[in-house]
Amino acid sequence: KVDLGTDDPVEIGKIIRGWLADYLSMGPVVAMVLEGNRAVEVVRKIVGATTPYSANPGTIRGDFSTDSPELANLEKRALFNLIHASDSPKEAEREIRFFFREDEFVNYT
- Please give the positions annotated as active site: 84
**What count of other Cβ atoms lies within 10 Å of the Cβ of residue 42?**
13
- Which amino acid type is present at position 14? K
Q: SS in 3 state form for 63-100?
A: HHCCCCHHHHHHCCCCCCCCCCCCCCHHHHHHHHHHHC
